[in-house]
Amino acid sequence: MNISSQNTLPASQSKESQSSYSTVHCVYTDLKHARFSVILDSQRGLQFVYWLELKKLGIRHLNADDELCARFIVKDKRTIERGLAVVSAVCFDKPADKPGVELHEAKRFDENGLKTLLAKGSPLIVFRGCRFDRVNLEALDVATTVAFFDCDFDDDFRLIACRFPNSLWFSNSRFHKHFSLKSSQIEDSIHMESCDFSGPGGVSFRGVQANNIYLDFGVVGCDDIVWLNEITVPGVVSVGGTFNNDIELIGNQDEETSLTRCTVGAVYMGHELYDSESANTTLINARFKCKDCDTQALAVANTTIKDCVISNSTMGSISFVDATIEKDLTLSDVAAGQPENTSLMLERSSVERHLKLFDNRLSGDLCLQNSTIGGNAYLEDNQFEGGQIQLNRLSAARLVFLPIHHIYQKKRYFPLSLTPRRFIVDEPTEPHKCAEVYCALKNWFSDSGQLDAEDDAYFYMRQRQPHHALTRLIFGYIFGWGVRLRNIAISSMVLIGLFVMIFKYYRPEMDLLVALALSVQSFTGNFFGKWPDYEPSGLVAGFAVLESIFGLVFITVFIGAYIRKLLR
C-alpha cells in the first residue's frame, strides 16, 4: 500500500483526534483495472471503495491484505454510487493482526464442500481465486456473509430460493455455464462487478429480492439471456459491460408465479461513478425488453443497444443520453413522468431506424433535442398531460402525430384570434433556433399530409424569424403570412368598419347603412355605382378610392391563399 506523506498523521496526534478513525482490512482489489477495493470494516462488514476515493487522499494502490486507519462516511447515492467515501487516512508502520475472516484461497470446491462451509455459521467466508464444480443448492437459510472474489465456476452454479443475511459478492468472477439466484432473498446488495459470464448458459435473477443489484464495470454477458424478471429491488439495478444476449426486465415471465409486476427503485445502464472515464460504457448487441415494470427511473447513458422495447410499465422518468439504438426504440402503454419534469428524454442520442411511441401517458416533458432518428418517429395515441415537446436540433426523416390534435395545447382557443392554436412545443429563447424548430415541424407535417398543421407551423416559423416588428404586424397578423385566410378576412372586415367610421366622420348626414354599403362597394372595387340619395364627392370620394386600393391588395392575397389551399 502506498500513501503520500501529506496524509500521514504525526506521532504526537492526540487520542481524541484519533478516536474518529477506524482500522480496515483490504480483502480484495479489482485485478483487471484496480477500479475498486473491498474492505472489511470494524463490524466485520464488507464495504465497496472506488479507486477515486483513495486517489483523492494520495493512496495510489491498495493491495489485498493491506490495512488502513481511516475515517469513512457513507457515500451519497445519486445514481449508482455505493460503498464508502474516505475522508482521511493514515498508514501503519506495521500491519495489525488479520481480522477473524474465514479465507479460502486457490482451492477447489464441489457442491457438498460449499454446502458444508455455508452451514458452519462463520460470520464471514471469503473465497479468493477458488474454483467450483457444479453447485445446485436450494432453500438454504445462510447465516454467513459470503464473498466470491476472482473465482472460476466451471459448471452450473445455482443458488435457488436461498436467503443471505448481508450482501452477496461475486466481483471479478468467471462463470463458464449457467448462473442462477432464482427466488433468492439477499438482505443487502448483490455485487457482480466485472464478472464474466461468457459461456453456453444464461444468467438468472428471476424473483430475486435484494436492495441493489450491481451488474456493471465491464461485465461480459452470456450466450443465452440475462433474466431480471419478477425482481423486487427497492434500490438500484446497474448494468454495464458488453452483452451479446437479450436482457429482460419483465414483471410476469409466465404463469409459474403469482407476481404480476416487477418493482425496481431505478435502472441505470452505462452510468459512471467518475464522469471523466469510460469504465462502464455498455454495449448490448441484442434486445433490451422491459415489460410490466414499476420504477422511478430508467436511465441509459453511454450505451449502444441493438433493439429496445418498453411496454406496460410505470416509470418516473426515462432517459437516453449519449446512447445509440441500432434498430427501433419502442414505448407502448407506458405511464411516465411527473408535472414539470421530463417524462422521456432522448438527448445527444441516435435511433438508427424508427422511434415508436404508442398509447403512452406522459405527465412531463418529452425531450427529443440534439438527437437523430434515421427513419420515422411515430407518436400515436399518446396523452400529453401538461408537458411540452422539446424538438431543438432533432433530425428525423418524418415525425408523425396521430391524432394531430394531440400536438396542440388543450387551452380554450378564441375563434377570432390572429394566431393559430399553440403547439405543445417548447420554444428556445433564441429566435433563430425557435424558427428552426417550427421549420422542421412544417416539413414533417407536409410529408405526412397534415396540411392545416403545416400552415400553423409555417405561421409560427415566420413570426419567430428575426423580422422587424412592423413586418410581423403587416405580413403576420394582418395577412397571416399568406396561409391563414382567417387573418385576411378579419383584417378586411376591420378595414371596412374603419372606413365606415371615416365616412360617417366626414359626412355626418350620411346614413349608417349607406356608409356601410359605400365602404363594402369601395373595398370590392366596384366604385360608386348609382346612389339615389347621396352622391359622394370631395374627401369622401378620395377615401373611397384609397379603400379600393386596399381592397384590391387584400382580395388578391385572399384569392392567392385560397387557390394555394385548393391546389394542395
User: Which of 339, 386, 377 lies closest to 358, judged by CA?
Assistant: 377
Q: Give me the pLDDT at residue 16, please.
A: 34
CB atoms closer than 10 angstroms to residue 189: 21
Radius of gyration of the chain (CA): 35
Of 250, 336, 261, nearest to 296 by C-alpha is: 336
- State whether residue 47 is helix, strand or coil: strand
Cβ neighbours of residue 456 under 8 Å, at least 6 residues apart?
420, 421, 423
CA pair distance 44, 267, nearest whole angstrom: 29
According to the model, what pLDDT value does residue 544 have?
A: 84
**Distance between CA atoms of residues 486 and 53, nearest Å:** 66
Which of the residue ranges 45-59, 235-249, 466-480 would you say has the lowest mean pLDDT? 45-59
How many beta carbons lie within 10 A of that of residue 510, not counting itself?
19
Find all residues with CB under 8 Å of 548, minimum gap 6, and list them: 522, 523, 525, 527
Q: Is the pLDDT of residue 17 over 50?
A: no
Arithmetic mean of pLDDT over the chain:
88
Q: What is the pLDDT of residue 133?
A: 96
Overall average pLDDT of the 99-104 stretch? 83
Mean pLDDT throughout 461-479?
91
Query: Do the strands 342-347 and 389-390 form a parallel or antiparallel pair, or are they unpaired?
Result: unpaired
Cell numbers standing for residue 218: 465491464
Q: Is the pLDDT of residue 482 over 60?
A: yes
152 membership: H or E segment, kind and range: strand 152-153
CA count, 13 A, side-chain hemisphere, 469 = 0
Say if residue 207 is exposed, middle or buried (CB neighbours under 10 Å; 0-12, 13-18, 19+).
Answer: buried
Categorize the per-residue pLDDT at 536 as very low, low, confident or very high, splitting at 50, 70 and 90: low
398, pLDDT greater than 90: yes
Distance in angstroms (rounded) separating the CA atoms of residues 328 and 123: 49
Give residue-wise pLDDT tens across range 67-80: 888 888 888 888 89
Handedness of CA 404, 406, 409, 415 (dihedral sign): positive
Confidence of residue 181 (pLDDT cuts 50, 70, 90): very high
Set of cell numbers at residue 4:
503520500
478, pLDDT greater than 50 = yes
Q: Are 135 and 111 in contact (CB under 8 A)?
A: yes
| Residue 167: C-alpha distances to residues 147, 150, 189, 240, 301 (Å) | 8, 17, 5, 19, 26
> Quick one: pLDDT at residue 85?
86
Average pLDDT (437-449) is 92
Give the orientation angle of helix 451-464 with respect to helix 431-447, to 10 degrees: 160
Averaged pLDDT for residues 54-60: 81
State the pLDDT at residue 257. 64
Distance CA 199, CA 177 (A): 5
Q: Calculate the alpha carbon distances from 271 to 14, 214, 300, 301 in Å.
A: 42, 12, 7, 6
Reply yes or no on whether the pLDDT at 23 is more than 50: yes
522 contacts 499 by C-beta, under 8 angstroms: yes
Q: How far apart are CA 434 and CA 482, in angstroms?
A: 20
DSSP, collapsed to helix, strand or coil, labels residue 503 as helix
Task: Please state whether beta strands 246-250 and 282-291 pair in parallel, antiparallel, or not at all (unpaired).
Answer: parallel
pLDDT at 530 exceeding the cut of 60: no
Q: What is the pLDDT of residue 273?
A: 83
Burial of 298: CB neighbours in 10 Å, binned 0-12, 13-18, 19+: buried
Strands 46-50 and 36-40: antiparallel
Residue 12 predicted with pLDDT over 70: no
Least confident of 10-24, 123-137, 160-174, 394-408: 10-24
- Residue 16 CB coordination number (10 Å): 7
CA 52, 56, 62, 68 torsion-angle sign: negative
